[in-house]
DNA sequence: CTCGACTTTTGTGTATACACAAGCAATAAT
DNA sequence: ATTATTGCTTGTGTATACACAAAAGTCGAG
């Protein structure tokens, strides 16, 4: 039922997000067509969609490649992400829905379990669930979808961070503060905690790159 | 130099935003192909892009039509727009750049001139410039682009509002308060004023629809 | 007259073929 | 030896053709 273009764009998206296709990789239509056993037509449609969601860059007559934003731009994206999530957290606090509290507590527990065992992969999953719960908890479906989209776009640049065990525990503590503020109905505190929680990731990212001396400017 | 698909998507975008193609209009590929004198291929690419930017809906095997969101969803979009613009205004106030002040004052003057003569079309243009200046003034290019995109998506639903002369003067007054707060470096006031300025549009929109008893739910 | 099954038509999804621009290599001229 | 020009290769942009699903129309049975 899913069209070939859907299928291809999903698989490419996953590979970009997972880092299988690192930023800068050239995506040539004939090669992809052969790989997926289809013609170039659905491949082109898939690339168009990825371009629209901001994962690849599509230069006219010069091919498409996995987007490789500058450090500055990535930091900007993290700043916007921080604001979007801050709004979500504020709205969560304002709603004060007990079901939402239970949901958040559940994800928090999963995060804690993963942090205890130091399982970065499990923490990644639980973390994603936690943030999605906050998006949905805003009660604004459009906002939630925008947040999910930007979260996806940032995933390639966030992966390395959770490898550091200290960051993992720190992240967990921040989650705890966020949930506490939401449960207390303290919108301002929830907003501030969430914003800080995301902003620190942008800073972390810049630190990591400066450290490793990546080839970016 | 611009590809046919670029050209078509731009023209369709303009027509959707201007209301020539009202929400709900079916966009059939063969018809568009004939109209633009090209084959279906570039038409399809153009529709893909419009779908990605959120102006049209592309249902598999069921064609594409100009997006016709529910009232609730449009209100949600206005809420997100309000938050994005609020962030922009806050960042403007924090920067405190005199060049930015001058820019804003310039647009404010153009808005005032248009409001004096009651020229809704001129006010529309000046208003767009004013808001764009605030986006750019945030100093965050990514945020600015996201704001422009959402502004574009909301344009079809904002057109009717400025017809009302009272709303026009009211809008001008709000602009004045925003600029004053930014110039004063009062980030919190700028943020609040900008948020309110946008939110009122969402409410206005809902009012208008309720009044006219549109066919939406 | 109404309802349902069948046929026709319309429109989308995909494949293939051609057109052409950009990059690259080899050769020729200075 | 260096550089400019020309031809070749690669890859994207567009056109056309076919496959098939969904909607629309038609016909017959009750």
DSSP A8-29: HHHHHHHHHHHTSS-TT-EE-H
Task: Please tell me if residue A94 touches chain B, with a CB cutoff of 8 Å.
Answer: no
Q: Could A48 and B53 be called an inter-chain contact, meaning their C-beta atoms sit closer than 8 Å? A: no
Paired tokens of A136: 């949905």
**Chain A residues with beta carbon closer than 8 angstroms to that of B140:** 76, 79-80
Q: How far is it, in rounded angstroms, from Cα B90 to Cα B190? A: 6
Q: What pLDDT score was predicted for residue A93?
A: 98
Determine, yes or no, domain membership for A10: yes
Task: Assign residue A118 a region (left: φ > 0; alpha: ψ between -120 and 50; beta: otherwise).
Answer: left
Q: What pLDDT score was predicted for residue B162?
A: 67
Over 60: is that where the pLDDT of B213 sits?
Answer: no
Query: Averaged over B147-162, what is the pLDDT?
Result: 88
Same domain (yes/no): B116, B14: no
pLDDT band, very low/low/confident/very high, at B1 (cuts 50, 70, 90): low
Q: Are A156 and A74 in contact (CB under 8 A)?
A: no
Same domain (yes/no): A18, A38: yes
**SS3 of B56, please?**
strand
**Chain A residues with beta carbon closer than 8 angstroms to that of B76:** 140-143
Q: What are A2-49's pLDDT values in tens digits?
A: 788 999 999 999 999 999 999 999 999 999 999 999 999 999 999 999
Q: Are A54 and A146 in contact (CB under 8 A)?
A: no
- Which residues touch B100 (CB under 8 Å, ≥6 apart)? B92, B133, B137, B182
Same domain (yes/no): A83, A127: yes
Determine, yes or no, domain membership for B114: yes
Same domain (yes/no): A110, A198: yes
Let me know how long chain B is.
217
Question: Residue A202: which CATH number?
Answer: 1.20.120.530
Nearest nucleotide over every DNA/RNA strand to the A63 CA, judged by C1': D12
Over 50: is that where the pLDDT of A135 sits?
Answer: yes
Helix axes B29-36, B4-17, angle to 10 degrees: 110
Q: How far is it, in rounded angstroms, from Cα A149 to Cα A155? A: 10
Q: What pLDDT score was predicted for residue A166?
A: 84
User: Rounded to two decimals, what is the model's pTM?
Assistant: 0.93
Cβ < 7 Å from nucleic strand C:
A 3-5, 37-42, 45, 61-62; B 27-31, 40-41, 44, 60-64
- B22 CA from C2 C1′ (Å): 37
Nearest residue in chain B measured CA to CA from A90:
B83
**Which of residues B17, B38, B66 is at a domain's end?**
B66
Same domain (yes/no): A146, A82: yes
**SS3 of B160, please?**
helix
Q: Which domain holds residue A97?
A: 71-212
Which of A45, A140, A150 is most worth mutating to test chain B (most B CB atoms within 10 A of its CB)?
A: A140
Paired tokens of B143: 């945020």
Question: Residue A60: which CATH number?
Answer: 1.10.10.10
Same domain (yes/no): A80, A46: no
**Residue B97 DSSP one-character state:** -
How many other β-carbons are positioned within 10 Å of the β-carbon of residue B47?
24
Residue keyed to tokens 């605030």? B134
Task: Please tell me if residue A95 touches chain B, with a CB cutoff of 8 Å.
Answer: no
**Which of residues A66, A99, A118 is at a domain's end?**
A66
Same domain (yes/no): B10, B87: no
Over 70: is that where the pLDDT of B47 sits?
Answer: yes
Q: How far is it, in rounded angstroms, from Cα A107 to Cα A110? A: 5
Paired tokens of B131: 């808001």
Determine, yes or no, domain membership for B217: no
Q: How far is it, in rounded angstroms, from Cα A181 to Cα A188? A: 8
**Residue A59 DSSP one-character state:** E
Q: How far is it, in rounded angstroms, from Cα B75 to Cα A210? A: 42
Query: Averaged over A96-104, what is the pLDDT?
Result: 96
Determine, yes or no, domain membership for A139: yes
**Minimal C-alpha gap between B76 and chain A (Å):** 6
Query: Averaged over A141-149, what is the pLDDT?
Result: 98
Percent of chain A at pLDDT exceeding 90: 78
Same domain (yes/no): B54, B146: no
Work out the angle at residue A114's Cα, subtended by the Cα atoms of residues A112 and A115, and round it to the nearest 5 degrees.
65
β-pair type (B26-27, A63-66)? unpaired
Q: What pLDDT score was predicted for residue A99?
A: 96
Q: Are B29 and B5 in contact (CB under 8 A)?
A: no
Mean pLDDT over the full length of chain B: 92
Cα A131 from chain centroid (whole Å): 9
**Which of residues A66, A81, A103 is at a domain's end?**
A66
- B62 CA from D26 C1′ (Å): 23
**Minimal C-alpha gap between A49 and chain B (Å):** 7
Same domain (yes/no): B109, B206: yes
Closest partner CB to A79 (pick from B3, B77, B140): B140
Q: What pLDDT score was predicted for residue B211?
A: 72
Residue among B89, B169, B171 at smallest CA distance from B133: B89
Determine, yes or no, domain membership for A217: no
Count of structural domains within chain A: 2
Residue among B133, B152, B123 at smallest CA distance from B88: B133
- Which residues touch A7 (CB under 8 Å, ≥6 apart)? A36
Determine, yes or no, domain membership for B167: yes
Same domain (yes/no): A206, A107: yes
Q: Could A140 and B6 be called an inter-chain contact, meaning their C-beta atoms sit closer than 8 Å? A: no
Per the DSSP assignment, residues forming a β-bridge with A59 are A63
A63-66: strand order across its sheet: A26-27, A63-66, A56-59
Q: What are B66-75's pLDDT values in tens digits?
A: 999 999 999 9
Determine, yes or no, domain membership for B169: yes
Q: Which nucleotides of D are covered by protein (CB under 7 A)?
A: 10-17, 21-23
Q: How far is it, in rounded angstroms, from Cα B21 to Cα B156? A: 10
Nearest nucleotide over every DNA/RNA strand to the B29 CA, judged by C1': C11
Which strand (E) or helix (H) includes residue B66?
A: strand B63-66
Query: What's the N-to-C CA distance of chain B in angstroms?
Result: 44
Nearest nucleotide over every DNA/RNA strand to the A2 CA, judged by C1': C13
Alpha helix locations (H) across B18-137?
29-36, 40-52, 71-95, 98-117, 120-137
Q: How far is it, in rounded angstroms, from Cα A66 to Cα A134? A: 29
Same domain (yes/no): B98, B194: yes
Same domain (yes/no): A39, A17: yes
Determine, yes or no, domain membership for B153: yes
Over 80: is that where the pLDDT of A165 sits?
Answer: no
Let me know how long chain A is.
217
């Amino acid at each position: 039922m899913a069209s070939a273009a859907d299928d291809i764009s999903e698989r490419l998206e996953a590979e970009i997000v997972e880092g299988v296709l690192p930023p800068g990789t050239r995506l040539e239509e004939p090669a992809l067509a052969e790989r997926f056993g289809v013609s170039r037509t659905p491949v082109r449609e898939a690339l168009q969609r990825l371009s629209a969601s901001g994962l690849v860059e599509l230069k006219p007559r010069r091919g498409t490649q996995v987007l490789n934003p500058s450090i500055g731009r990535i930091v900007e994206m993290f700043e916007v992400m921080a604001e979007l999530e801050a709004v979500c957290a504020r709205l969560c606090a304002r709603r004060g829905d007990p079901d939402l509290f239970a949901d958040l507590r559940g994800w928090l527990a999963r995060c804690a379990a993963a942090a205890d065992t130091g399982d970065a992969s499990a923490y990644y999953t639980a973390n994603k669930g936690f943030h999605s719960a906050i998006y949905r908890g805003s009660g604004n479906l459009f906002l939630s979808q925008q947040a999910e989209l930007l979260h996806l776009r940032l995933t390639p640049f966030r992966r390395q961070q959770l490898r550091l065990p200290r960051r993992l525990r720190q992240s967990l503590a921040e989650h705890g503060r966020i949930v506490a503020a939401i449960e207390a109905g303290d919108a301002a505190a929830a907003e501030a905690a969430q914003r800080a929680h995301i902003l620190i990731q942008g800073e972390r990212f810049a630190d990591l790159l400066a450290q490793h001396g990546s080839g970016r400017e």
